[in-house]
Amino acid sequence: MLFFNIVIVGLFFAVLSALLPFFIPARWSLLSKLTHFSLLGLAGLALVMSGFLTLIMKSSLYLTLSPLSISFIKASLHLDPLSGFFLCLIGIITIAIAFYGPSYLKGYENSKYSLKAMFFFTGLFLVSMSLVVLANDLFSFMFSWELMSLTSYFLVMSHYEEAETRKAGLVYLLMAHLSGLCILFAFGILVKFGNGFDFQSMQAAHLPIIWANLAFILAFLGFGMKSGLVPLHVWLPRAHPVAPSHISALMSGVMIKIAVYGFIRFNFSLIGQLHWQWGIIVLFIGSISAVLGVLYALMQHNLKQLLAYHSVENIGIIFIGLGLAILFICKGYPMLGALAMIAALYHSLNHAVFKSLLFLGAGSIYQSTHEHDLNLMGGLIQRMPQIAFFFLIGCVSISALPPFNGFVSEWLTFQAFLQVPLIRSNTVRFIVPIAAAMLALTGALAAACFAKVYGITFLGKPRTDRVAEACESGIMMRFSLGLLALFCLLLGILPTFLIRWINTIPMSLLNVGLAPNNLNHWLWITPIDPNVSSYSALLVFIGVIIICVVSWIVLRPLQHSFSFKKVTAWDCGFGGLNKRMQYTATAFAMPIRRVFKNIWTVEELKTNEDEPKNKIVVRDMSTYELHVQDNIWLYIYEPIQTVVDKISKLVSYLQQGNIRVYLAYSFFTLLLLLLVVL
Amino acid sequence: MKIYLMEICQALLFLILSPLLAGWIKTIKCVLQNRRPPSIFQAYRNLIKLFLKQVIVPQEASWIFRFTPYLIFSVVVLLSFIVPLIIANVSSSSAYFSLGDVIVLVGLLALGRFFLVLSGLDIGTTFGGMGSSREMMISSLAEPSTLLVFFTLAIIASSTNLSYIVGHFATSQFIFRPSFIFALLALCMITLAETGRIPLDNPTTHLELTMVHEAMILEYSGRYLGLIEWSAQIKLMIYFVLISNIFFPWGIATDLAWHSLAISFLLIIIKLAICGVVLAVTEMSTAKLRLFKAPNFLSLAFVLCLLAIFSHVILGVG
């Protein structure tokens, strides 16, 4: 019960962080900020503690909330390793945000936007996410799920005065509710066959195959929409960038993982018998999302939008792992299923950490430059050296490069892929190598994308004056980023401990985990067998450092003087390299845009204004515009929008605005109803 | 314990032999072009010359520019621990742990490339950006193929550990596998792409319109340039060793006896020399592709990889 008490204390802190700022007078805004964020941090700490303890003690606890129960619906909570893992994930990011928030919100103090409202919704957002993870029955699950959607909607609308924000908010609200509806129906099927609203009776249900398929499809749609799988991702790159950065970090880092939690809980614990065809579907959609997510991201030059598209990519990678897990479990290799699931869970945590790091970094950049456009930045490594360092770690991690954390989870996913030939099924054998190829392509393109992000933002010469005058962020913000960067490194070089802890999740869900003797080596990950594969991240990390240091020391005495000469770069003898001659983000991605040109709808607008020919000095009058559009929005969503528009226009003929017409409507309706009744 | 000692020796061999390999390729090319070749040891002299020179750094450069050469160097040196040069899979010893497997190999190469691309952008010149952008296009298309080739081999050998893969092919009976042919062809094409050779890039050109790798490192000088060139030579040797030891594993030592090690060493020298000749002839007989023809070349490699993996997985040969 102790763990539950810690969770309750955490939730209590979160509620306090939402409510207390209302009791602090407006002129003490610093106090209200500090109260909010310190309580939020305490809440995060409590969540991490309880989640972590649950994970290592492998305990499963249940709690019935009798005061909240209505007649036959009994609200109850549970805390098992899966919930514990996601509580940890929520908590870690919350702690980082608690350090980051106070100085980030400096700009908001004297603005028209209400901080108190933001605090209120942030606190409730945290509570609702934790409750989704803890819920043990349909009632509390759906209640907290909807609360999560609503509070996050209000947070997205923080800058409500901008038209773009309102548009994004509308799209988000619509899709969040559609997903809620799908999930409700999916659970409804389980409730129907399980004769009960709590998860235990759902587990006991035996579903006919058609209903099981329907429940799976609905759940996949619902959770996939909320987590941003292609083609249901369109809300994500709209809603995440318009929110304040710490909220984007919470949404992109944590909220979409809650949908992943829902998917895991639904499929691996509740629905009962899995079918391998589902695995193929999940794998297929996952790999499409991964590739399209990264390709769309490559074309963005708004930093936060780019990061949001990368969430689509990473969610794709997570679902690839889950799809593989379903495949293996159905085909009788539960141990490999556990491996794939561990890879997916590991990637969820990794993505939460590095995506929050990058979003918070984007917030720091915005705070000191007021720019989101990559093409206007440059040279920030000189102005903000520490932020630049932490951001670099985030970029390396998300690009899945060793020895950082993104690589570990991709490595595990690939290991799961390589065991697929064990499965004796031609469909599987045909699909899976293609999915593996797509995952490999995703990794390579992600590296290209983040080379672009980092190179254009932080390196080279500043492209605008405002960027040239940027200054380093506050110490707490740097600390928060440093904390997350440290997590990226630790998760990268000490993966064996984490894998051992995560292993309790498949143990509790599927009653099978990785072979215990493969978990004993703390230095090497050997998921299947040391002879099959091994990777020692710590040794790679130490090796790189040692060789760097040795080569530096060895080469030092060979040079004439230690100080190197600084000169201007080679300009072909024409003189005057300037900031406009550098490659921009658009230019950097141009070769890739040309290679995959059918993925986007690219619109190039060139205008060449005529100048008198006899002028010697031709002023630059030509303009160039490039619009790269998401094809999915263009070909799926816009037609839907037009149809809806047309239907609503038709409906509008009914609305004449004349009171007599409306009276006639009511009269005829009444008549009709009377006819029916009589 | 001995096997780890052998790994260190192999890494040293990589360090020492790689400039010789570069010199050998240069000699062959000169002979083919009817020129008088420089000494085969010229590559060593170049490196020493570069290590002794003073370093000149552009003004805009940050610490990334100065850190990258060391990082790239350490990445390839680390890889030379993983790649089996003269000894593979000593099965008698108890569980042998490799530092990393083929996926780690691809990942580490990507890490080095990531930083090289960053340092190209770091100096804020057009050439740097141009090189970085092109390199990223080529590598993001080549890297998936590399992984797929290794996946094919890993599935056949049911291990991703390079030493085990090589050991598996060396000790098991020779079976003709169609997937092998595809994989070999693909790996050769990838080697050309990843090491910046004609037809995708030209290590000897400094023409604005055609540079890729050279454009990125245009501003490097002194010991930084020396480290980068040495790393490029080691990288080329790593690819050659992979090709020759995986596809032609004959004679590689699988135990620690002195005579088998000596034979294995002699054979790998011969194999590398043949690889060098093949590369020189290829480079001599083809022209550099236009940049936007490169994707066609790379997608051919990709298709070959897919064929390799399918012909193994679906036909189930071997």
Model pLDDT for residues A429-472, shown as the tens digit of each residue: 888 888 999 999 999 999 999 999 999 999 999 999 888 888 88
Binned at pLDDT 50, 70 and 90, residue A200 comes out as confident
CA distance A580 to chain B (A): 9
Q: Which residue of A has its CA nearest to B67?
A: A548
CB A260 within 8 A of CB A227: yes
Contacts of A147 (CB under 8 A, 6+ apart): A124, A127, A128, A131
Long-range pairs, A559-563, Cβ under 8 A, ≥24? A559/B51, A559/B52, A559/B53, A559/B54, A559/B55, A559/B222, A559/B223, A560/B52, A560/B53, A560/B54, A561/B54
pLDDT surpassing 70 at residue B97: no
What burial letters (b/e) apply to A565-578, b meaning 16+ CB within 10 Å?
eeeebeeeeeeebe
For the segment A44-50, the average pLDDT, to the nearest whole number, is 94
Q: How many CB atoms lie within 10 A of CB B291?
A: 18
Test the A interface: residue of B3, B74, B216, B230 with most A CBs within 10 Å:
B74
Could you tell me which of A202, A308, A178 has the C-alpha nearest to residue A253?
Answer: A308
Query: At B318, is the pLDDT very low, low, confident or very high (cuts 50, 70, 90)?
Result: very low
Three-state DSSP class for A605? strand
Q: How far apart are CA A282 and CA A268, in angstroms?
A: 13
A144 touches B at CB < 8 Å = no
More confident residue, A408 or A427: A408
Task: Give me the percent of chain B exceeding a pLDDT of 90.
Answer: 58
Mean pLDDT of chain B: 89
**B292–A591 C-beta distance less than 8 A:** yes
pLDDT band per the 50, 70, 90 thresholds, residue A147: very high
What tokens does B2 get?
């001995």
Higher pLDDT residue, A142 or A520? A142
Report pLDDT for A563.
64
Distance CA B294, CA B193 (A): 9
Mean per-residue pLDDT of chain A: 89
pLDDT at position A86 over 90: yes
CB contact under 8 A, A400 and B107: yes
Q: Are strands A565-567 and A61-64 parallel, antiparallel or unpaired?
A: unpaired
Residue A16's pLDDT is 94
Closest by Cα among B236, B14, B278, B223 to B109:
B236
For A246, counting Cβ atoms within 10 Å of its Cβ (0-12 exposed, 13-18 middle, 19+ buried), the class is buried
A424 contact B CB<8A: no
* Short-list B186, B166, B179, CA closest to B244: B166
Digit-coded pLDDT (tens) for B154-209? 988 888 888 888 888 888 877 778 888 999 999 999 999 999 888 888 888 777 77
Residue A100: CB partners within 8 Å, gap ≥ 6? A246, A249, A360, A363, A476, A477, A480, A481
- The pLDDT score that the predictor gives to residue A675 is 92
Query: For residue B255, is it within any domain?
Result: yes
Mutate to test the interface with A, among B55, B105, B227 (most CBs of A within 10 A): B55
The answer to whether residue A384 neighbours chain B at the CB level (below 8 Å) is: no
* AA identity, residue B99: L
ipTM score assigned to the predicted complex: 0.95
| B-chain residue closest to A414, CA distance | B103
Of A203, A332, A297, the C-alpha closest to B140 is A297
* Tens-digit pLDDT profile for residues B233-271: 999 999 999 999 999 988 888 877 888 899 999 999 999
Of B103, B128, B129, the CB nearest to A411: B103
Q: B314 and A548: CB-CB below 8 Å? A: no
Determine, yes or no, domain membership for B173. yes
Task: Evaluate the CA torsion angle A283, A286, A291, A294 in order and state its sign.
Answer: negative
CB–CB contact A443 B143 (8 Å): yes
Strand A76-79 to A61-64 pairing = antiparallel
Q: Which domain holds residue B265?
A: 2-313
For residue A357, give the nearest of A489, A497, A496 by alpha carbon. A489
Helix boundaries (H) for A518-658: 537-555, 585-595, 631-632, 638-652
* pLDDT for B316: 65
pLDDT-derived band at A216, boundaries 50, 70, 90 = very high
Of A570 and B94, the structure prediction assigns the larger pLDDT to: A570
**From A536, A559, A591, residue closest to B100, measured CB to CB:** A536
Can you tell me the distance from the alpha carbon of A79 to that of A136, in angstroms, rounded to the nearest whole number?
A: 9
Asked if A544 and B78 come within 8 Å (Cβ–Cβ), the reply is yes
For residue B134, which residues of chain A lie inside 8 Å, CB to CB?
Answer: 591
Going through chain B in order, the beta strands assigned E by DSSP cover 56-58
pLDDT digits (tens, 9 = 90+) for A72-82: 667 888 999 99
CB distance A336 to A419 below 8 Å: yes
**Tens-place pLDDT, residues A599-627:** 888 888 877 665 555 555 555 667 788 88
Task: State the residue for tokens 């556990």.
Answer: A338
- DSSP H or E segment with residue A383: helix A380-383
By the 10 Å C-beta count (0-12 exposed, 13-18 middle, 19+ buried), A288 is classed as middle
Give the mean model confidence (pLDDT) for residues A501-509: 91
Please indicate whether, in this complex, the C-beta atoms of B143 and A595 are within 8 angstroms of each other. Answer: no
Share of chain A above pLDDT 90, in %: 59
Residue closest to B15 by CA, chosen among B279, B231, B275, B240: B231
Decide which of A236 and A424 is more confident: A236
Tokens 């970029």, residue located: A395
Task: Report whether A435 contacts A283 (CB < 8 A).
Answer: yes
Q: Which of A327, A517, A513 is nearest to A429 (CA)?
A: A327
Shortest Cα distance from A592 to chain B (angstroms)? 6
Q: What average pLDDT score do residues A306-310 get?
A: 94
CB contact under 8 A, A461 and B95: no
pLDDT of residue B75: 95
Q: Kindly state whether residue B220 falls inside one of the protein's structural domains.
A: yes
Alpha helices in A205-275 (DSSP H): 209-227, 236-242, 245-249, 256-264
Question: DSSP label at B57?
Answer: E
Domain count, chain B: 1
Highest mean predicted confidence (pLDDT) among A259-263, A493-497, A562-566: A259-263
Task: Measure A306 CA to nearest chain B CA, in Å.
Answer: 18
The single-letter DSSP state of residue A80 is -
Which single residue is written with the structure tokens 């399918």?
Answer: B310
Give the chain B residue nearest A557 (alpha carbons): B52
Q: Which residues pair with B87 in a beta bridge?
A: B253
Q: How many helices (H) does chain A have, and how many strands (E)?
A: 27, 5
- Two tokens at A30? 């610093």
Cα A268 from chain centre: 22
Residue B258 lies in a domain: yes
Segment among A248-257, A517-526, B29-38, B214-223 with least mean pLDDT = A517-526
* Cβ B87 vs Cβ B164: under 8 Å: no
In a mutational test of the B interface, the residue from A374, A542, A547 whose CB has the highest number of chain B CBs within 10 Å is A547
What is the nearest CA distance from A388 to chain B, expressed in angstroms? 11
Q: Is position B52 within any domain?
A: yes
Amino acid code (one letter) for A390 = F
Helix (H) or strand (E) holding A627: strand A623-630
Phi and psi at residue B37, to the nearest 5° = -75, 150
Say which DSSP state A525 is in: B
Quick check: A213 and A246 in contact, CB under 8 A?
A: no
Cα separation, A533 vs A531, in Å, equals: 6
Closest to B77 (Cα-Cα) out of B67, B86, B69: B69
Distance, in Å, from the CA atom of A135 to the CA atom of A13, rounded to the nearest integer, reads 19
Chain A residues in contact with B305 by the CB 8 A cut-off are 437
Tokens of B144: 């998936």
Question: Which residue of chain A is at minimal alpha-carbon distance from B116?
Answer: A451
In a domain, B168, yes or no: yes
B213 closest CA partner among B224, B222, B198:
B198
Q: Output Rg (C-alpha) for chain B, integer angstroms.
A: 19
CA distance A459 to chain B (A): 5
Q: How many CB pairs under 8 A join A and B?
A: 279
- C-alpha span between B75 and A597 (Å, rounded): 34
CB contact under 8 A, A434 and B306: yes
- As a whole number of angstroms, the longest Cα–Cα distance in chain A is 107
Distance CA A221, CA A415 (A): 28
For residue B318, being part of any structural domain is answered with no
Terminal alpha carbon distance of chain B: 34
Yes or no, beta carbons of A594 and B292 under 8 Å apart:
yes
**Token pair in block for residue A660:** 């007599």
pLDDT at position B92 over 50: no
pLDDT higher than 60, residue B68: yes
Q: Is pLDDT of A559 > 60?
A: no
Task: Give the Cβ contact number of residue B57 at 10 Å.
Answer: 19
Write down the residue that tokens 């209120």 correspond to: A120
Of A411, A447, A567, the CB nearest to B110: A447
Is B64 in contact with A381 (Cβ distance < 8 A)? yes
Name which of A317-326, A391-400, B93-102, B221-230 the model is least confident about: B93-102
pLDDT at A429: 82
Q: Indicate the pTM of the whole model.
A: 0.94
Measure in Å the smallest separation between the Cα of B159 and chain A Cα atoms: 4
Nearest CA to A95 out of A479, A399, A633 is that of A479
The half-sphere exposure of B163 on its side-chain side, counting CA atoms within 13 A, is 29
Which of residues A675 and A66 earns the better pLDDT score?
Answer: A675
Q: Which two tokens stand for residue B232?
A: 């490029």
What pLDDT does residue A61 have? 83
